[in-house]
Amino acid sequence: MSEMNILVVEDEPVMQERLVDMLYNAGATHVLAHADAGSARTAFAESLFQVILLDLGLPDANGHELMEEFKAARPEQHVVLVTADDSIESIQKAISAGANGYVVKPYSQEKIHDVVNNYVMVHGGENDMIKGLNRKH
């Protein structure tokens, strides 16, 4: 697999650490973790990520709105929402708004592997956005 850069936006320290470990175990080469929307926005502006795992319940923003910001800036950005809310309404809202996936906490190693594998299957290991940027340089 080529490089797999992932941004994790999760405000619960234990869940964040667990998710980062699971992503490395699933094959990610670089994982950057932030606990709030403000620092996640900065990271998003400064770097390209194949996958963003985004908690819906952040202390300084609504995860749905932050996902919409990311998708507006980079429509091809692969965003997976993570939350404790397993209601059909929340899942439907996320998918309708453009989420590429939805993971219910507590997450399992198998589910995190599925997230990474889904991205690789869809994109062949390299994000279309990154391919386009590489062609411009």
Q: What is the pTM of this model?
A: 0.85
What CATH number is given to the structural domain containing 124? 3.40.50.2300
Distance CA 83, CA 10 (A): 9
Strand spans (E) along the chain: 5-9, 30-34, 51-55, 78-83, 101-104
Block residue for tokens 């939350």: 83
Per-run averaged pLDDT (10 residues), the chain, 137 residues? 86 95 90 97 96 94 93 95 90 90 89 85 56 32
H or E element that contains 118:
helix 109-123
The domain of 83 spans 5-136
What pLDDT is stored for residue 2 in this prediction?
A: 66
Cis peptide before 106 (omega within 30 of 0): yes
**What is the total residue count of the chain?**
137
Number of domains in the chain: 1
* Spatial distance between the Cα atoms of 93 and 85, rounded to a whole number of angstroms: 12
Cα angle 44, 21, 97 (rounded to 5 degrees) comes to: 40
